């Protein structure tokens, strides 16, 4: 059976994380930003699973289940807030709702 070295696995998860981060920074639509955050959280979960299988411990998978639960809560709150944002501003463009800033 072919085993992929640990470094490559972590690198793969790292690339996923970077893709998510770039998504948050580049995308201006709040729903897409939320999706990119999901990618980041899941890439961290992937590293936990990789590490768990590397150390032959269940801890990594336990942590992944927690991450899934927390990410679900975060998205549900996020979508509720996005509804409110649309209600108030009639847009989901992150730049358009940036009203709070330093006024000197």
Partner 1 sequence: MTITDFLCLSPFLIIAGAPIVIMILISILRNYAVVFGFSVLSLLIAFASIFFIVPAEPHSIKQLFIIDSYSLFFLGIIILSALLVTMLSYEYIKQLEGVREEYYIILFTSTLGASLLAVANHFILFFLGFETLSISLYILIAFQKTKDSSIEAGIKYLIMASVSSAFLLFGMALIYTAFGTMQFNEVGSAIHNQGQFSPLVITGFGMMMVGIGFKLALFPFHMWTPDIYQGAPAPVTAYIATVSKGALMAVLIRFFFNIKGFDNPYFFAVISVISIFSMTIGNLLAIRQQNLKRLLAYSSIANMGYLIIILLTGSNRGIQSAIFFLTAYFVTTIGAFGVISLLSTAKNEAEKIADYEGLFWERPWIAIVLTICLLSLAGIPVTAGFIAKFYIIFEGMKAGLLVLVFSMIINSVIGLYYYIRVITTLFANTGKTKLPLLSFTGNLTLALITLSILVLGIYPGWLINIIVKFVHL
The residues that touch partner 1, with contacts defined as CB under 8 A, are 6, 10, 13, 17, 20-21, 24, 30, 33-34, 37, 40-41, 43-45, 47-48, 50-51, 54-55, 57, 59-60, 62-63, 66-67, 70, 73-74, 77-78, 81-82, 84-85, 88-89, 94, 97-104
Name residues whose C-beta falls within 8 Å of residue 71's C-beta, 6 or more positions apart in sequence.
38, 41, 42
Chain length of the chain? 104
3/103 with CB nearer partner 1: 103
Q: List the structure tokens of 99.
A: 């009203």
Least distance between partner 1 and beta carbon 25 (Å) = 9
Cβ distance 40 to 24 under 8 Å? Answer: yes
């Amino acid at each position: 059976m072919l085993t992929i070295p640990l470094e490559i696995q972590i690198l793969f998860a790292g690339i996923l994380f970077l893709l998510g981060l770039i998504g948050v920074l580049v995308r201006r639509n709040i729903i897409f930003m939320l999706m990119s955050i999901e990618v980041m959280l899941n890439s961290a979960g992937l590293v936990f699973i990789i590490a768990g299988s590397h150390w032959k411990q269940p801890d990594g998978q336990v942590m992944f289940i927690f991450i899934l639960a927390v990410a679900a809560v975060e998205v549900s709150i996020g979508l509720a807030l996005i509804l409110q944002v649309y209600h108030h501003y009639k847009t989901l463009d992150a730049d358009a709702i940036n009203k709070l800033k330093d006024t000197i």
